[in-house]
Amino acid sequence: MEIREYTAYDEAELLALYADAGWTNYTGRPEMLRAAYQNSLCVLAAYEGGRLAGVVRAVGDGASIVYVQDLLVLTEFQRRGIGTRLMQALRERFGGVYQLVLLTDDTEKTAAFYRSLGLTAAEEFGCRAFLRA
């Protein structure tokens, strides 16, 4: 597996990745997805045999905050350490950042995954998240 910066936007491969994850907010609005990628702080991609297997997309200023907006791995490539490697590569790139933040599904599976990466649930810091969707 190879991890590298995602620089050549390929709508078809990204829409397939988001569709596989069931993220219809993006698949139903491909123009928004393109704009989101163009305005991202960083996008790293994992390739397996030349095929896109996963991405991590971050927004923020890169100094005080990096917000992990998307972390996706194609279902057929899950449980092979790709998500972990993508997050590690992102953390290496922004090692000096004050805060690394993300929102995720409230399942034990996702909580266990992010805890395994050394992240802590916001409520353990006495924080609460607010959003408008």
Q: Give the model's pLDDT for residue 133.
A: 78
Q: Give the model's pLDDT for residue 24.
A: 92
Query: Can you give the pTM of this predicted structure?
Result: 0.93
Closest CA to 15 of 25, 30, 5: 30
Per-residue pLDDT of the chain (133 residues; tens, 9 = 90+): 999 999 999 999 999 999 999 999 999 999 999 999 999 999 999 999 999 999 999 999 999 999 999 999 999 999 999 999 999 999 999 999 999 999 998 899 999 999 999 999 989 999 988 888 7
Find tokens 């928004």 and name the residue: 32
Q: Give the model's pLDDT for residue 105.
A: 87
- Provide the token pair at 70: 């998307």
- In CATH, what number does 2-103 get? 3.40.630.30
- Provide the token pair at 131: 């959003």
Residue 83 to residue 103: CA distance in whole angstroms = 15
